Structure 1
Amino acid sequence: MGLISGAIDAALESIGKSLLDVGEWFLETGYTLWKNAGKLTLDYVKISPMSQSGAWGVVTGSVYQMSLAIAASLAVLFFVMGWLRESIDIRNNFTLENMFRFFVRYAITASLIVNSLSLVTGICECATAVTSQISVNMESKDVENVFETVRDQLEDDDDADGGTWIGMGLAGMLGGFFGGAVIMVCGVSLVLSVLSRLFRLLLCVPFAPAAFAGFAGGHEFAQTGIAWLRTFIGYALEAVVIALAISISYGMFKDANMFSAGAKSGSIVSLLLLICGYCMPMVTACACVKGAEMTVRRCLGLG
């Protein structure tokens, strides 16, 4: 019976080790995808929309030219509407000073419409330059042989039998699977956040001339142009906030040991907490990046 029991324990121990290896493989796979996603994120967060020749050509092509034509008509319309709104009493309001103010406002509006693409380019270049100055390091501690300490502790534990190995193996496999899945989701979410920001930035470009036309009418009409400027600047600065969010959150939590205490060494709980510790930097970085847009919108008063 002793030989049979020993053989069963040895078989269970072998199975437990294999299950731990599977869990490690899941974590390593997730971390590999995270590193690639992080590299792609850093590349795109520091990229200028003008460098995307295909997309930039679309938003500055025929659609933009049509927007310029519409903006020219709207500028005249808003100018007349603004003049009528402010000059109901011609005797008191139709003065040389007011006329000069109206035409100066119209000249500034026309200049904004004509040079709207230069303004867009300047804002993007400034945001890209600021973002490039932010140092972001997404390197994390190595995930190879994550469960090596767990194996060593079980091998040194004289009370560890085949059932213990099986329990730890199952916990390691399931924990590694879910941990790897969480890391993969965070990596994909990070890339999508950066790409969606670039996409929104490009979508704003064709509407710049039409939005600036509202300045010709002054007062309420100008709110269209102001809203566009605040929105576009917000999207441009979002890259800066994303880079800062990644740098700060990853710097705070990449060596986090908040899950390492409070559990018995070599237990299933300590194993699961170890996996949580590896996932924590990715989860926090992803959460901070997700909140970047809201941070910018609140700072600019966009709601």
Structure 2
Amino acid sequence: MINEILDFFKTVFSGSGFFSLGCNVWNSLIAYAFDMLQTNPKSLADGELWDEAYRIFLALQILGATLVSVFFMINFFKETTDIKHGMTMEASIQFFIKLALVDAVFLNLTNILVFLIEIEQAFFGIIVPEDAASLVIRVGDDWEMSGSGLIFGNLFGLVFLFICLGGAVITLWTVYRVFLKLFFYMAVAPLALSTYAGPHEIGHTGSSWVRTFLCALFEMTGIMLMMRLGTILINAGGLFPTASEDILGGMLGSQGWEGLQAILGILIITGSVSGTDAMVRRAFGF
């Protein structure tokens, strides 16, 4: 009994308990972020976000439908009054085909957006084949620290715990931000897409909306990919090769070395996840 009590206090005050707690905090919050990324937008936050965004969408859809007609007439009269470029039958047919396509998109816009998000979420099965289990970090619990190293181990474990907590919170915030951007883009879609029926000088607004929406979709996949690659980095031994016993010493210990590399890995994951938007824009030219 006494030995068990001593082992318990040694585990707690060596920092091993903080390391285990840090891993549990990180794994729990990252699993929650993974579940969010797989959630259907219609059911997120009990459907309240979808209901509010859809309410705004319907209100702007009326205005957008009016703007479609206005932009179409502007484009039509601009072409017909251009003396240098007379209106041909082919040009007239192209105008009306464009108008029909814009109207068709307006009628099915919400279904199209949800369908695109579901396609994007289907790629998660390729990136994380074992679902949330693919994102679990593991740090050994074989602390072998001398008495003089217990204080250091305790402080080191606390640092690891706080970094795990802060990194997971930043990752969750980034995931929430992506979904909020998607709801925003959905709400204002009628105004942006209505410009497709207008002249080229106005129609670039709709093209910008499409690129921005696709960028948000790719950001979801980028976040998942960064979390998966970072997890592999940590579980595979980290950034540096295994140190020799002389470097580890009696104070740091083998788990301390793993913890140090796990801290660096978590910092890399957090920074990469928060910068996914910029990476996607540079990679795909959005």
| Residue 88 (structure 1) aligned to one of 77, 81, 84 | 81
| 8 A Cα contact 1:264 1:270, kept in partner | no
Any conservation in 2 of the 1:193–1:290 contact (CA below 8 Å)? yes
TM-aligned CA deviation for residue 126 of structure 1: 0.9
Matched residues in 1 for 2:126 and 2:247: separation? 44
Identify if the C-alpha distance between structure 1 residues 265 and 111 changes in structure 2 by more than 3 Å, giving closer, same or farther: closer
Aligned to 1:225: 206
- Report the residue type matching 1:77 in the other structure: V
The Cα offsets for residues 238-277 of structure 1, whole Å up to 9 and x where unpaired, read as 2222222222221133231526416534344667544312
Report SS of the residue matched to 2:123: helix
- In the alignment, the residues of structure 1 paired with residue 283 and residue 166 of structure 2 have an alpha-carbon distance, to the nearest angstrom, of 29
Note closer, same or farther for the CA distance 1:187–1:200 as it changes in structure 2 (3 Å cut).
Answer: same
Structure 1 segments (4+ residues) deviating >4 Å: 17-20, 269-272
* Matched residue, 2:225: 244
Extract unaligned runs of 5+ from structure 1: 1-13, 155-164
1:133–1:235 Cα change, 3 Å? same
State the number of aligned residues: 270
Q: Which residue of 2 aligns with 1:29?
A: 21
Deviations, residues 195-237 of structure 1 (Å, cap 9, x unaligned)? 2111111111111111111110141222111111111122122
| CA gap 1:260/1:91 in 2 versus in 1, 3 angstroms | closer
Unmatched tracts of structure 2, length 5 or more: 1-5
Return closer, same or farther for 1:91/1:235 CA change in 2, 3 Å cut-off.
closer
Say yes or no: does 1:210 pair with 2:191: yes
The answer as to 2:59 corresponding to 1:66 is: yes
Between the aligned partners of 2:115 and 2:86, the Cα distance in structure 1 is 38
2-structure distance, mates of 1:265, 1:104: 71
Q: Does 1:99 align with 2:92?
A: yes
Residues 79 and 142 of structure 1, relative CA distance in 2, 3 Å threshold: same
Q: Which residue of 1 aligns with 2:284?
A: 300
Residue 25 of structure 1 aligns with an amino acid whose one-letter code is G
Residues 36, 175 of structure 2: 8 Å contact kept: yes
Question: Who is 1:266 aligned against?
Answer: 249
| Residue pair 1:254, 1:281 contacting (<8 A) in 2 also | no
Asked if residue 46 in structure 1 is aligned to residue 38 in structure 2, the reply is: yes
Residues 158-183 of structure 1: per-residue CA shift (max 9 Å, x gap): xxxxxxx33x1222122111121111
Question: Partners in 2 of 1:199 and 1:77 — Cα distance?
Answer: 30
| Cα distance in 2 between the residues matched to 1:189 and 1:259 | 28
Alignment partner, residue 286 of structure 1:
270
The corresponding residue for 1:129 is 122
Determine helix, strand or coil for the equivalent of 1:89. coil
Distance in 2, matches of 1:90 and 1:265, equals: 82
C-alpha distance in 2 between matches for 1:275 and 1:207 = 46
TM-score (norm 2): 0.84
Structure-2 change in CA distance of 1:92 and 1:237 (3 Å): closer
Contact 2:234 2:262 survives alignment (8 Å): no
Give aligned-pair identity as a percent: 20
The letter for the 2-side match of 1:233 is: L
Matched with 1:5 is: none
Distance 1:284 1:254, change over 3 A: farther
Distance 2:201 2:259 in 1: 55
In structure 2, how many angstroms separate the alpha carbons of the residues matched to 1:274 and 1:55?
41
Give how far 1:128 is off.
1.6
Whose radius of gyration is greater, 1 or 2? 1
The separation in 1 between residues aligned to 2:109 and 2:202, in whole angstroms, is 18
**Aligned Cα root-mean-square deviation (Å):** 2.5
Q: Does 1:117 align with 2:110?
A: yes
Aligned letter for 2:218? L
SS in 2 for 1:28: helix
